[in-house]
Amino acid sequence: GAVVSQHPSWVICKSGTSVKIECRSLDFQATTMFWYRQFPKQSLMLMATSNEGSKATYEQGVEKDKFLINHASLTLSTLTVTSAHPEDSSFYICSAPDSSSYNEQFFGPGTRLTVL
Amino acid sequence: GNSVTQMEGPVTLSEEAFLTINCTYTATGYPSLFWYVQYPGEGLQLLLKATKADDKGSNKGFEATYRKETTSFHLEKGSVQVSDSAVYFCALIRMNRDDKIIFGKGTRLHILP
């Protein structure tokens, strides 16, 4: 099946710094990717839809200036958490749809962010 | 709107017990249905899926049948193992391009040896 990777798998940063998380589709192209956030023992919360060549679409309540998304190519989307604070600590997961049928999503392994 | 409801956990079973995790959905049209599994500290892995009514998805001893008449997609396994301990998410995607996946809240499963 299709593979989606994320980098880094975990990151620890100081409060006030910015952190970039990459999501790559390794063996297929993805014009759309999705970014999720998962708090401990909770379900995934969709943050935004990343669109290649255009602006991301953010879900209600998600600050677009806080969580910058750039879909630079058909295989790469990045999420930058700007001026991170401890409450931004979470597990961030990306996914990309099956471009042949759009009836499946392939998930990355996730990135655990800890802000001190 | 579209939604997925699954039984709340945690569910605790002894090894070799029979497992059922209920999942029902609300959706317009004809969605595809999925079960994902998340092991501790890891991302989501697709466990099984079904794309049309009466389809049965199966993998690793787990099964789920797409029941349109009851709008359900219950996950079952005849004999669970300790290694099945994880969080299980029921989900749907409508058959539209770029459509978002809708997750249930997840069910945490603990299997005791």
Distances B109 to A41, A63, A112, B9, B85 between C-alpha atoms, Å: 12, 34, 22, 7, 5
Above pLDDT 70, what percent of chain A? Answer: 96
How many other CB atoms are found less than 10 A from the CB of residue A40? 7
Instruction: Using CB atoms, pick whichever of A32, A43, A104 lies closest to residue B104.
Output: A43
- Subunit contact B43:A107, Cβ cutoff 8 A: yes
Q: State the number of CA atoms in the 13 A half-sphere of A80 facing the CB.
A: 10
Contacts of A77 in chain B (CB under 8 A): none
**Per-residue model confidence as pLDDT tens for chain B (113 residues):** 788 999 888 999 999 999 999 999 998 878 899 999 999 888 889 999 999 899 999 999 999 999 999 999 999 999 999 999 999 999 998 766 556 788 999 999 999 99
CA distance B80 to B113: 10
Contacts of A44 in chain B (CB under 8 A): 44, 89, 103
Contacts of A106 in chain B (CB under 8 A): 46
The pairing of strands A111-115 and B19-21 is unpaired
What digits encode the pLDDT tens for the residues A53-62? Answer: 889 999 999 9
Sign of the C-alpha dihedral computed for residues B1, A44, A76 and A27 taken in this order: negative
CB of A51 closer than 8 Å to CB of A74: no
CA distance A65 to B77: 45
Number of A:B CB contacts under 8 A? 56
CB of A107 closer than 8 Å to CB of A4: yes
- Residue of B3, B6, B44 to mutate, testing the A interface (most A Cβ within 10 Å of its Cβ): B44
Q: To the nearest whole number, what is the mean pLDDT of chain A?
A: 92
The pLDDT score that the predictor gives to residue B29 is: 79
